[in-house]
């Protein structure tokens, strides 16, 4: 796992520290406790490819002006055999390094030797991580929020895997509780209306109004007739709810597979209730002293738990009081457990039973208030939810067509479902556009998603890949193969556009790390657009066909490495890399 930018940073730091130790030995600089020379990539690389702020950071400890320190280091830098050709002082005491051809060659060698593993790392090796995403109620079609959460969760899982984690993708099926009761009552009303007439049977005020409910009722009647109308209410509702789930869940799985999402586990809420695990979890909270009874219901001391966590975080009592923290019901007076109780049990299962080191949930922003409560409940169980459970909150999706907002309403049955979207927009386009920064509201332009020009960022990236594939085929037809990195004359990779492209290839490793660290896989999209732009500029500025063999070979190798990284980046998002367009 070769990270060429990190190698250059480490080498620059060691060169600076070695120069400092030599300056101390020469009696030019005093000795002080200095652990490491900080190295970064400057915003403007015209003055150098890497810079160290050693002189500025050490000035106080060494009682010397930064430029004096920098000059002492510069005079003692041993660049021979390093990745750097030269160094110079800039500004108040920056020491800037310029990369040499050895580094550029090693970047291409890394892409060549690591193949499909290029860009990966082992930062998360040994960590068992679950990513739970979508987890839509199985009471109706999946909507735009599910579409966004689906690709964000799936791509985040891929990024975490690329950083060495043992990742499991999970869908939590809410097949129990209030929403299933409402689902059953909605199908029941439509079923009885088919038999007795629409005016004869009232529809529940808070029932699911969509056409899909009518379709389920009609499908049950077509298969089983009218006999269920004579059954007792509980049996009828149980039967219709199970029928609806049996119809909806396979459709959800099919839609998600069409969307290129495959889960390792479909976890059913009902199993938590049937096994007694919800009751056991609530009992453990009671044993720990975090519950109380009131009005016949059992309550969690949520306010007490959250206040304690806020105090640990440094919040003052006055600030905590302003939050007006509330407790939560775990078991209602009728003996039924709440959704919150089941959710606590579900997450306890993730940590206590299945042993995940980290759990990441992709939730809509409307669940913001649930985050601290759930983490606090896990803290109360001794499972360190504050540290081990992470929630990625994603903002809403605004769907546009021809610049006009497409209004969506689950209640009226006029929602644009995931299935509807994929009938209109290619799967790869949907995955690309929905893999946007989670914490910002996004606009999904249906027209832009199907455009075949550079305004469409996916087309722009895919075209770069296809263009390179076409170039490789043409050159192969003329007898020019892609050389190995070791065979390249690196003096031919010395132009601004060539070096900019190699630097961009080297950034892939860092981008994957950042995407995993920030739980933001949209870094991959932005990187690929920048890489495609670097390639298009290189291709415009640097001829290949008709050039001398050493020049053409070096440039062809650079193009082929770009093709490989474009393909790997697109694969992380779950998007194909076409060879022809």
C-alpha pair distances (Å), 410 with each of 144, 183, 209, 407, 444? 11, 13, 8, 10, 18
Residue-wise pLDDT for 237-246, tens only, equals: 999 999 999 9
Cα–Cα distances in angstroms (integers) from residue 104 to residues 114, 135, 246, 303, 549, in the given order:
16, 45, 57, 57, 19
Amino acid 408: pLDDT: 55
For the cut 90, the answer to whether the pLDDT of residue 1 exceeds it is no
pLDDT digits (tens, 9 = 90+) for 322-348: 999 999 999 999 999 999 999 999 999
Q: Tell me, what DSSP letter sits at residue 78?
A: -
Give Rg (Cα) of the chain: 30
Residues 405, 429 contacting (CB under 8 angstroms)? no
Please give the structure tokens belonging to residue 145: 């929020």
Residue 360 parent element (H or E): strand 358-364
44-80 pLDDT tens trace: 888 899 999 999 999 999 999 999 999 999 999 999 9
Quote the pLDDT of residue 290: 98
Burial profile 124-141: b = 16 or more Cβ within 10 angstroms, e = fewer: beeeebbbbbbbbbbbbb
On the question of pLDDT at 437 being above 80, the answer is yes
pTM: 0.93
Are 492 and 558 in contact by the 8 Å Cβ rule? The answer is: no
pLDDT in tens, 446-498: 999 999 999 999 999 999 999 999 999 999 999 999 999 999 999 888 899 99
The yes-or-no verdict on residue 84 having pLDDT over 80 is yes
Chain segment 96-150, per-residue pLDDT in tens: 999 999 999 999 999 999 999 999 999 999 999 999 999 999 999 898 889 999 9
Gap between the Cα atoms of 404 and 394, Å rounded: 23
Pairing of strands 358-364, 389-394: parallel
Cβ atoms of 358 and 129 within 8 Å: the answer is yes
By DSSP bridging, strand 128-132 and strand 358-364 are parallel
pLDDT of residue 410: 37
Mean pLDDT calculated for residue range 299-315: 96
Q: What is the pLDDT of residue 101?
A: 94
How far apart CA 276 and CA 280 sit, in angstroms, is 6
At residue 412 the predicted structure's pLDDT band, cuts being 50, 70 and 90, is: very low
Give mean pLDDT, residues 175-196.
Answer: 96
Report d(CA 261, CA 14) in Å as an integer. Answer: 45
């Amino acid at each position: 796992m070769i990270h060429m930018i990190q190698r250059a940073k480490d080498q620059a730091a060691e060169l600076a520290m070695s120069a400092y130790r030599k300056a101390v030995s020469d009696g030019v600089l005093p000795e002080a406790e200095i652990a490491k020379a900080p190295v970064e990539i400057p915003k403007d690389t015209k003055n150098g490819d890497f810079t160290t702020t050693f002189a500025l950071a050490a000035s106080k400890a060494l009682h010397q002006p930064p430029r004096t320190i920098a000059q002492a280091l510069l005079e003692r830098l041993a660049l021979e055999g390093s990745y750097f050709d030269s160094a110079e002082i800039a500004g108040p005491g920056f020491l800037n390094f310029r990369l040499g051809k050895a580094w550029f060659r090693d970047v291409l060698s890394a892409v060549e030797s690591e193949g499909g593993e290029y860009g990966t790392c082992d930062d998360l090796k040994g960590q068992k991580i679950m990513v739970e995403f979508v987890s839509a109620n199985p009471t109706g079609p999946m909507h735009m929020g599910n579409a966004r959460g689906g690709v964000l969760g799936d791509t985040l899982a891929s990024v975490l895997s690329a950083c060495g984690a043992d990742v499991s993708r999970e869908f939590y099926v809410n097949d129990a509780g209030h929403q299933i009761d409402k689902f059953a009552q909605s199908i029941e009303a439509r079923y009885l209306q088919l038999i007795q007439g629409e005016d004869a049977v009232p529809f529940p005020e808070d029932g699911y109004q969509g056409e899909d409910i009518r379709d389920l009722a009609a499908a049950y009647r077509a298969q089983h007739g009218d006999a269920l109308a004579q059954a007792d209410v509980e049996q009828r509702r149980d039967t219709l709810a199970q029928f609806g789930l049996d119809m909806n869940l396979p459709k959800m799985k099919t839609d998600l597979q069409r969307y290129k999402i495959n889960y390792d586990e479909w976890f059913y809420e009902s199993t938590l209730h049937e096994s007694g695990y919800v009751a056991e979890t609530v009992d453990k909270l009671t044993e720990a002293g975090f519950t109380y009874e009131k009005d016949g219901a059992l309550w969690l001391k949520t306010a007490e738990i959250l206040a304690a966590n806020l105090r640990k975080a440094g919040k003052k009592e006055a600030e905590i009081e302003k939050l007006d923290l509330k407790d939560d019901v775990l078991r209602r007076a009728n003996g039924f457990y709440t959704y919150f109780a089941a959710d606590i049990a579900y997450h306890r299962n993730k940590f206590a039973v299945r042993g995940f080191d980290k759990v990441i949930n992709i939730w809509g922003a409307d669940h913001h208030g649930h985050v601290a409560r759930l983490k606090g409940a896990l803290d109360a169980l001794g499972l360190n939810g504050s540290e081990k459970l992470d929630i990625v909150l994603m903002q809403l999706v605004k769907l546009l067509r021809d610049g006009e907002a497409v209004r969506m309403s689950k209640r009226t049955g006029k929602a644009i479902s995931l299935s509807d979207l994929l009938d209109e927009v290619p799967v790869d386009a949907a995955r690309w556009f929905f893999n946007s920064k989670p914490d910002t509201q996004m606009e999904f332009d249906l027209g832009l998603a199907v455009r075949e020009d550079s305004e469409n960022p996916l087309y722009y990236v895919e075209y770069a890949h296809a263009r390179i594939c076409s170039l490789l085929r043409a050159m192969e037809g003329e007898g020019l193969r892609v050389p190995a990195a070791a065979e390249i004359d690196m003096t031919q990779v010395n132009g601004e556009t060539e070096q900019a492209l190699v630097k961009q290839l080297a950034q892939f490793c860092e981008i994957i790390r950042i995407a995993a660290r920030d739980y933001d896989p949209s870094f991959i999209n932005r990187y690929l657009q920048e890489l495609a732009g670097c390639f298009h500029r290189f291709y415009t500025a640097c001829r290949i066909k008709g050039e001398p063999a050493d020049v053409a070979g070096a440039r062809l190798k650079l193009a082929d490495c770009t093709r490989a990284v474009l393909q790997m980046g697109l694969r992380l998002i779950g998007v194909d890399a076409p060879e022809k367009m």
